[in-house]
Amino acid sequence: MIYRRIFGVPGWETKNPFSELENMRRQVDRLYQGLFSSSAQPAAGVFPLINLTEGKDRYMIRAELPGVSSDELDIQATASTLSLAGERKIPEENNGAKYHRRERESGRFSRVISLPGEINPDKVEASLVDGILTIVVSKAEASMPRQIRVR
């Protein structure tokens, strides 16, 4: 489209009618990126948040699960994934209590964690202590690093 410039040097200018809006949108996008970037972005906001670390012969997965007992936790392992499901319950206080604050949440959760290498699903150990879940997963024999000797 051909616009006539109203202010400034009189003349004609070919312009995309949406360029102003596009400029604004780009600026707003940049602002939003600044707001939401943090040290770690949780994968699709799935509960619980996990920390995954690797050792020479195993992977370790840790999660914060306050108020969850081991019988409310279901952990399953396949050759390359680990699934974690359960429910966090908050027991009812039935003595005519009047709540001033209610910040804690309860509910079901389910998360599948893909591991970067093959694991041995028969050698998985999990412990739940003080609300911290620690899962130690042994790597599959085939994917353990092997020392190669040079002749």
Partner 1 sequence: MTDSKEIKVKEKLGVTTPAEQTVPGRVFTPEVDIFETDKAITLLADIPGVKPEKLNIDLRDNILTITGDVDRLESADEEFLALEFETGRYYRQFTLSEVIDQVKIDAKLNLGVLRLSLPKVAKAAPRKIAITAG
Task: Say if residues 46 and 107 touch (Cβ distance below 8 Å).
Answer: no
95 binds partner 1 per the rule CB under 8 A? yes
60 binds partner 1 per the rule CB under 8 A? yes
* Of the residues 30, 104, 146, 149, which one makes contact with partner 1 according to CB under 8 A: 104
> What is the phi/psi pair of residue 138, to 5°?
-80, 140
Report in angstroms how near the CB of residue 122 gets to partner 1 at its nearest.
22
71 binds partner 1 per the rule CB under 8 A? no
* Of the residues 27, 29, 131, 141, which one makes contact with partner 1 according to CB under 8 A: 131
Report in angstroms how near the CB of residue 129 gets to partner 1 at its nearest.
9
Give residue 27's Cα distance to chain centre: 27
36 binds partner 1 per the rule CB under 8 A? no
| Nearest-angstrom CA–CA distance, 81 and 110 | 13
47 CB-contact burial (10 Å; exposed 0-12 / middle 13-18 / buried 19+): middle
Give residue 102's Cα distance to chain centre: 25
User: Using CB under 8 A as the criterion, which residues of the chain lie in contact with partner 1 when the complex forms?
Assistant: 38-40, 42-43, 45-55, 59-60, 62, 64-69, 87-88, 90, 93, 95-110, 116, 130-132, 134
